[in-house]
Every structure is written in C-alpha cells, then in structure tokens.
Structure 1
Amino acid sequence: MKIALTGSTGRVGRFIAREIIAAGDTLLPLSRPGYRLGDRPDLTGCDALVHCALAHLPGRYRGGEGEDPEGFRRTNFDGSIALFEAARQAGVARVIFLSSRAVYGDYPPGTALTEHLPPRPDTLYGAVKWQAEQALAALAAPGFCPASIRATGIYGPGSGHKWQTLFEAFSNGAAIAPRRSTELHGHDLARAVRLLLQCQETGAFNASDILLDRHDLLARVARLTGVTHPLPARSAAAISAMTSDRLRALGWRPAGIAGLEATLPKMLAQRADAAGR
C-alpha cells in the first residue's frame, strides 16, 4: 500500500510513520515545511490517507487556539475538509482521521465513555475534531471508506515527548500538582491505525489504555533515576475513561502498564543524553 500521512514528524505521527515503514508499505509524508493544513496535496496513487496534523500552540491541544480561535478553526477544520476532498478526488479508498477523546467534552467525571455516547465537546479543540469527524463521515461513498480514531493522551519516546517538562520539574524538586489521566503508548495507537487500514470498518473508534496517577508515574521515575524529591499526592479526582470495545473486537490489545514500564527507561535515557550534549 501507498499511505499518505499528515503530521508524519509530529509527536504522534512519528509512531504511525514508523509502523507504516516497518510493515513494508510506501509512506508519503506530509509535514512542514512542504505541507501545511489547507494545502491540496497530490494524492494520486495513494491507497490510504492517515490525517494526524493539527495546527496549535506548542505543547497545547485543548487551548491550542491561543488568542486566535477563528484562525485555529479555519486552519484545522477547513484544512481538514480540503484534505479529505483531495483524497476522494484522487481515488484514495481509505481515510483514517485522528480525532480525540475531547469530543466527549462535558460528561460528568467518572462516566464510561463508549462510542455509543453522543459527543458533547466543551472546548474549541474538541468541537473542531467532532466537526471534522462528521464532515469526513458525510463524504463516505462506494470506494471511499472513512473512519476516525478518538485517541486519549499519547506517550512514548522521542524528542519533546509529553512528559518531558514534568520529568524535568520533578528532577529539579518543583512542586507537582496531583493528577490522574488516561494514557496510550504511541506504538499502540499506530497498531490501531494499522488494524483499521486493513479493514473496511467505518465510524468512530475509541483508543485508550491505562489510567495513570502522577504519583505512580513519578515513583517509577524515582526508582529508575535515584531522584529523592517528594512525590505528589495521589489524585482523588474521578476520571471518565474511554472503553475501546470496537478496536478490541478487531483484535487490538494495548500494552498496558507493562508497556509503560518498558518505555520509561528509554524516555529517561533520551533526557539524560540531551542534558549531556
């Protein structure tokens, strides 16, 4: 297969790019500076498109619009529509859109978020993702098969990974606020994309794995690094976790806590290497 991938060098896209290459497929990378959302790339000859690109303030997704909400919406929603239409016009058969758990928005904490719940986004980021999901689904036609993955927070090794600032703050003895969150390894997200590329299932698919407390995460970091600074208190906040029933029905099995423990040494080694340069 020849697969076009937007955001191929980004924090999330790089995992999917590696999966595509490892599977022996041909990758058409669409990333800055050669590609920007809103461009209409030449997708002739592509069998599939995976759309991961998002224009946002560095390190921020919710709130990533900063002081320019209209620009954020125009770039990300209108740009996605232009991309989807370019794919359909080029005869691309399969389109996978990277959406977000943010589409579920304001459900009460502790709600089990299934794919059957109607989205209720309460941020511009979540609203734009949900609107793009709907626009893509409306383009479905014989020979054009779309699907969306609603992913939770993605972690894993690589420059600028999501916990880099947190690890540095803990190492420096800064006070860390309690927090719990749902997490998914980037490799497991990439495997979910691979499964969807190999089938014709449509609609939305939740992708989530572990519920992780910062106390437990940083306790593991402390054991691996010898840092003895105080750990944050455990969070008592109720968390709405997504169920991933549709992906699991396709055979998807994320790595769980074992995956976290296997990758943490790699993430910490990267930080040590960067500090030594």
Structure 2
Amino acid sequence: MTHVLVSGGTGFVGRFIVEHLMASGYDVVVGGRTPPASAFFSKPVAFAPLALDPDIDQSASFRGVDHFVHAAFQHVAGRYRGGEGDDPEGFRRSNLDGSVRLFRTAREHGVKRCVFLSSRAVYGDQPRGAELFEDTPCHPESLYGALKLEAENALAALATDAFKAVSLRVTGVYGAAGTGAAHKWQPLFDDYLSGREIAPRAGTEVHGDDVAAAVRLVLESPSDRLQGSLFNVSDILVDNRAILAMVQDITGSKHRLPAPATLTAFNTMNTEKIWTLGWQSGGLERLKSTVASLLA
C-alpha cells in the first residue's frame, strides 16, 4: 500500500485530499500540530507531528512515506491574502522557510513525489480578460502570492529523477466544511436571505474533491506525462448573482439579487495540462448540487 503524508490535512482543502486518497486506497498520514478529533474524518487516520518551523528536524514524520502532499499554510484566521496580519516576517518564515525545510526533509528521506498546493494568487496583476497559462509571467500583488511563487521555485529546484516535484496552482475552493465549521459562502447566503445589499463579485471556483482528484492524478501519472512541474486547477467562472440565483430557486426567497459582475474582464485559468492527465471537474452541475446540499 502507498503511504502518503498530507500536511494541513485538517484544513478546509486538506480534508478533501485526505478523504479522497483514503477512498482511493492510499494509506494516509495526517501531518499537523495536533491530532484530529476522533470523528473528524470518515474513518480513523494516522497522525504525525508536523510544523511549519524551519528550525525543527522532523525526519521521524517522513520515515516510510512514499509521497508528500503539502497543503499546510499558516495565516490569520479566515484570511490568505493579508494573512500575515502584523507579522510579515513570521509569515514568511513559516510559510516559505518552513515549507522548504519540509521539502528538503522529504527528499532526504526518499519520498518519491512531492505535491505542493500553490495558488492562483501567484499570477497577480494581468491584462484584463487574459487567459492564464502555467507559463504566463507572474506578478503577485500580495505577500501570500509572492511566497507561494517562491515556494514553487524552491521545490522545483530540489527536483530530481527520484524526487518528482509538482505544484498545483489552485483557484478558489468550495464545498462543505468540516464538522462544526461554516462553509465559505455562509456569510453570502446569510446576507442575501436577510435582504442585505450585496455588491457584484466574480471569481473562479473548483470543488474541494476535484482538487483532491488532481492531487491523486499527479501522484499516479507516469513521470513522462508530468510535463513541467506546474498545473492549473480551476473549474468554473461564476459571480455571486449566479450563486444566489440558485439559493433563490431553492429557498423561494423574494429578495433582490445583486447586479451581474463583468465576467469578460476576469482572468480565467487554462486547465488543459491537468485535463491531459484524465482530470474531470464537476462544472455547473456540481456547483448546483453543492449549493443545494449547503442549504440543506
């Protein structure tokens, strides 16, 4: 059985990755600061101490591990961009230096593949409406995006024939949150159902399980099919009017929907590379079914 260590496995995206890999037959170890609660996952899962600290030797957590998926990120609660708060140096030390130390430790202990969850934020400022490819020049506008890009580059520099390194540039992720947590659209739903005015906003989204499927494909695909070390992971461009129109249909609410956002100005991510590995995203139908389940 293949052993996969997932850092940040109890996070919003990490939880999808852990569940998907377990369902696909992998032996998963969750790495983090504290063990998950007993009922956090659908079945018991092993735990290994793991921290974003460049000064700690965490070799013990990598013994017997075949693959490492790095989904951990330290930030102010509820914020990624701007997640440094008033401590940008600490933010850099944890999320860049701490990540690179984990990458090096993984390579030193014979890990075969390392998958880093990067972000759409690496692209930063781009011409209006331009499509984003993996080789599009990056101009990150936030410290979050800049550190994700630096971590990508550091991981790529460590790659060898024996240590395959891949970064997935993931867009906004949606789906059900873990036990006791609110999903990302809960404030939006609450505002609409309370009749509050909502400003138009658009974004690209992908379901958490579709992200997990991309991770699995990168772990399973032959090395010669992993052209380059970068893959965009995105699904659907949608504005909050379209999302709330689904809410309106399901609930029968009579509140006014926000105005449509200007979708033509948005920079969508080209996902042809990840599709060549056999990836399939849920599209509009998955979005509709998820909104219905979140409301239920």
Which amino acid in the other structure matches residue 190 of structure 1?
A
- 1:60 to 2:79 alignment: yes
Which amino acid in the other structure matches residue 6 of structure 2?
L
Q: What's 1:173 paired with?
A: 195
Question: Is the 1:4–1:30 Cα contact (8 Å) retained in structure 2?
Answer: yes
Q: What's 2:272 paired with?
A: 245
Structure 1 residue 35: Cα displacement: 3.1
Q: What's 2:145 paired with?
A: 126
- 1:140 to 2:166 alignment: no
- RMSD, aligned α-carbons: 1.2
Question: 2: CA distance between counterparts of 1:190 and 1:160?
Answer: 20
Aligned pairs for 1:1-277 within 5 A = 1-33=2-34, 34-38=49-53, 39-41=56-58, 42-158=61-177, 159-199=181-221, 200=223, 201=226, 202-236=228-262, 238-269=265-296
Question: Is the 1:11–1:161 Cα contact (8 Å) retained in structure 2?
Answer: no
TM-score normalised by structure 1 residue count: 0.94
Identity, % of aligned positions: 48
Structure 1 residue 32: Cα displacement: 3.1
Structure 1 residue 229: Cα displacement: 1.6
Which amino acid in the other structure matches residue 69 of structure 2?
V
Deviation string 1:67-126 (CA, Å, 9 cap, x unpaired) is 111111111001101110110111101000000011101112211000121222111000
Q: Number of aligned pairs?
A: 269
Structure 1 stretches of 4+ with a deviation exceeding 3 A read: none
Question: 2: CA distance between counterparts of 1:44 and 1:118?
Answer: 37
Question: Is the 1:112–1:242 Cα contact (8 Å) retained in structure 2?
Answer: yes
Question: 2: CA distance between counterparts of 1:5 and 1:222?
Answer: 38
Deviation string 1:121-175 (CA, Å, 9 cap, x unpaired) is 1110000000000000000113111000000000011233211211122122221
Residues 51 and 40 (structure 1), Cα distance of their counterparts in 2 relative to 1, 3 Å cut: farther
Which amino acid in the other structure matches residue 205 of structure 2?
E
Q: Which runs of 5+ in 2 are unaligned?
A: 35-48
Structure 1 residue 227: Cα displacement: 2.3
Question: Is the 1:109–1:239 Cα contact (8 Å) retained in structure 2?
Answer: yes
Question: Is the 1:179–1:214 Cα contact (8 Å) retained in structure 2?
Answer: yes
Question: Is the 1:11–1:160 Cα contact (8 Å) retained in structure 2?
Answer: no
Structure 1 residue 40: Cα displacement: 4.2
Residues 109 and 155 (structure 1), Cα distance of their counterparts in 2 relative to 1, 3 Å cut: same
Q: Which runs of 5+ in 1 are unaligned?
A: 270-277
